[in-house]
Structure 1
Amino acid sequence: MSEKQKINWGVRFKNKVWVSGFVSQTLLMLQAIFLGLESLQVIDINIESVDAWVAWLTGITNVILAYLAYLGLVVDPTVQGVGDSYKALKRTEPLREE
C-alpha cells in the first residue's frame, strides 16, 4: 500500500458485507440521481405509468438496499464477518495517525 493511500481498498473488497453495503449505497445513489434529474426535467421517466406492483417491488428493494448499506457502514472491513477486531474492541479512543 502506498504512503498516500489511507484506505486499504483490497481488504475492503474482500469483505462481502462491506461490498454489499457499497453496492447498495451506489444503487440508491444512482436512483436518487435519476429521480432528481427527472424532477428537473433533464431526463424523462414516466413514473405515473409504472404499475402498482412495480412500485411496491421498488419500495421493498429500496428497504433491502438501505439495510445492506447500513451493514456496510457499521462493519469493520478489516475483519471477517460483522464484528470488530480484538484490538478495535479494546480501544477507548480512535487510533491516531503517526
Structure 2
Amino acid sequence: MLNLRLGAEAEQNAGIYQMLKVAPPRSTVELVIKTAGDFARSDPVGDEPVVRLLAEALSIAQQSNIGILIYSHLLHWSEKHDDALRICERLNHPNLSR
C-alpha cells in the first residue's frame, strides 16, 4: 500500500521499492494508494505525488519486467477506476496498468 501522506523515504513506502527489487521477474504487484487527510479520495490534486512515487517504483519494476497494477479500493485515494486510468495515461509506462 502506497501512502500519499508519507514521503518516498518513509519506511512503508520505501518497503514497496525493496519488495520490487526482490519480486520474481515478470510478476505483477497490485498497489493500493492510500491517503489520510492530505487529499480527498479520487482528488486529482493527489496525481502529482502519485506520479513522483510511482516513477521510482516503475524504474525498479522495469529492470525485472514486473508489472504494477493500480488497484482501485473503496475509501482509498485510488477509489475509482478513473483514478488509475488518469495515472496510467499520464505516466504511459509499459509496466503500469489499471
> Higher relative contact order by CA 8 Å / sep ≥ 6: 1 or 2?
1
- By percentage of residues, which structure has more strand? 2
TM range (shorter): under 0.3
* Higher helix content, 1 or 2: 1
Rg comparison, structure with higher value: 1
